[in-house]
C-alpha cells in the first residue's frame, strides 16, 4: 500500500475545501489567506467586472453557529460605512451550502510590516490616528471590535488605513456571551477579556488593544519615542478599564496633541522637557533672534574699534 505524502494530503484538503461557485457571479483566482472561521479568496465579479475578496466559511466548520457568526461579521461591516472600514458588497449561501460574503479587495501591507519599513515616527502616528478614528466610528455605533492587533490593520500605498476582521465584534444590542468566554488575541486582549469577564468588555477593551498597538509602533523598530508618548501608551493599557482613555477618540486626540507640539494630558512634563519642547516649537524665531543679536554685537564692536 502506498501512502500519500503530507504535501499530497494538503493539496487534497485544499481541493476539498474549495467552494462551489457554480451559477454565481464569482470566479476564484487564488487563495489569499485562512482564518479560524473561513478562507478568503481573490475572486472576479463577472457582473461588476472587478476583483473582490470573497470570504467563505470553511468546509470543516459549516455548522449553524459558524454560519451565523460569519453572516454577523458581514452585517457588522455592512452597517459601518467609513473610509477606514472595508465595505461589504454581497452575502449569501453558495450552492454547496456554505455561507459567504464579498467585500472590497484590500491592497497594502499589514500594520506590523508597514512599521518594519521604518517610516518616520510622525507617519506612524498619523496611521495610528486613522486606526483610532475608524474604531471610534464603530464605537459611536455601538460596535466593539474585541480583536484589534497589527495583523488586522492594512495600510495602503497612498496612506489609506483599513481595520479588518470583525468576526468577534459585538454590537450593543447583542446578548453577551456566557461568563468565562475568552475572545481576542493574547498580547492584545485586555485583562477583562483574558478573564472572560464578558460583562465588563466594552469600548475600553479596544482602547487597551490600541495602546498595545501604539507601544509596538514606538518600539519595533525603535522610533525615538518620547516620555510623553510612553505615558499615553501606559494610560491606554492600564489594567483597570476606568483608568484608561474612555474612548478611542480621546486616545487619538492625545496623539494629535503630541503631533501639534503640545503635551498629552497623560504626561506630566518636567522643566527640562518643557524647555526642550519650547526650543523645538519656536526653533526658527529663536535662531533668527540669536542671529540678529550676534550681528548687532558684531556691528557694535566694529563701530567702536
Q: Which residues are catalytic?
A: 147
Residues 242, 265: Cα–Cα separation, whole Å? 16
Alpha helices in the chain (DSSP H): 6-17, 64-79, 111-116, 121-140, 191-195, 203-219, 227-236, 248-259, 271-281, 283-303
Please say whether the beta carbons of 132 and 251 come within 8 A: yes
Q: Which residues pair with 92 in a beta bridge?
A: 100
Please say whether the beta carbons of 28 and 18 come within 8 A: yes
Please say whether the beta carbons of 25 and 45 come within 8 A: yes
Quote the DSSP letter at residue 140. H
Phi, psi dihedrals of residue 112, rounded to the nearest 5°:
-65, -35
**Which residues, 6 or more positions from 301, have their beta carbon under 8 angstroms from its beta carbon?**
none
Amino acid at each position: 500500500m502506498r501512502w500519500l505524502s503530507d504535501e499530497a494530503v494538503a493539496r487534497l484538503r485544499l481541493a476539498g475545501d474549495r467552494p462551489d461557485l457554480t451559477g454565481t457571479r464569482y470566479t476564484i483566482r487564488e487563495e489569499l489567506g485562512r482564518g479560524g472561521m473561513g478562507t478568503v479568496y481573490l475572486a472576479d465579479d463577472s457582473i461588476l467586472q472587478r476583483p473582490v475578496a470573497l470570504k467563505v466559511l470553511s468546509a470543516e466548520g459549516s455548522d449553524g453557529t459558524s454560519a451565523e457568526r460569519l453572516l454577523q461579521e458581514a452585517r457588522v461591516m455592512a452597517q459601518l460605512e467609513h473610509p477606514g472600514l472595508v465595505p461589504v458588497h454581497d452575502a449569501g449561501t453558495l450552492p454547496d451550502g456554505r455561507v459567504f460574503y464579498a467585500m472590497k479587495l484590500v491592497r497594502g501591507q499589514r500594520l506590523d510590516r508597514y512599521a518594519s519599513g521604518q517610516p518616520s515616527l510622525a507617519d506612524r502616528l498619523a496611521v495610528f490616528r486613522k486606526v483610532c478614528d475608524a474604531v471610534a466610528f464603530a464605537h459611536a455605533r455601538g460596535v466593539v471590535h474585541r480583536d484589534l492587533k497589527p495583523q488586522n490593520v492594512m495600510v495602503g500605498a497612498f496612506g489609506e488605513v483599513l481595520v479588518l476582521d470583525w468576526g468577534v465584534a459585538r454590537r450593543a444590542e447583542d446578548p453577551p456571551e456566557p461568563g468565562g468566554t475568552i475572545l481576542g488575541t493574547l498580547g492584545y486582549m485586555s485583562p477583562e477579556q483574558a478573564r472572560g469577564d464578558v460583562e465588563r468588555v466594552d469600548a475600553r477593551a479596544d482602547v487597551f488593544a490600541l495602546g498595545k498597538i501604539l507601544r509596538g509602533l514606538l518600539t519595533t523598530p525603535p522610533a525615538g519615542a518620547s516620555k510623553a508618548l510612553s505615558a499615553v501608551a501606559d494610560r491606554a493599557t492600564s489594567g483597570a478599564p476606568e483608568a484608561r482613555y474612555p474612548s478611542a477618540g480621546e486616545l487619538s486626540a492625545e496623539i494629535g496633541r503630541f503631533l501639534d507640539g503640545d503635551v498629552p494630558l497623560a504626561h506630566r512634563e518636567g522643566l527640562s522637557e518643557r524647555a526642550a519642547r519650547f526650543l523645538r516649537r519656536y526653533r526658527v524665531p529663536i535662531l533668527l533672534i540669536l542671529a540678529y543679536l550676534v550681528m548687532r554685537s558684531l556691528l557694535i564692536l566694529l563701530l567702536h574699534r
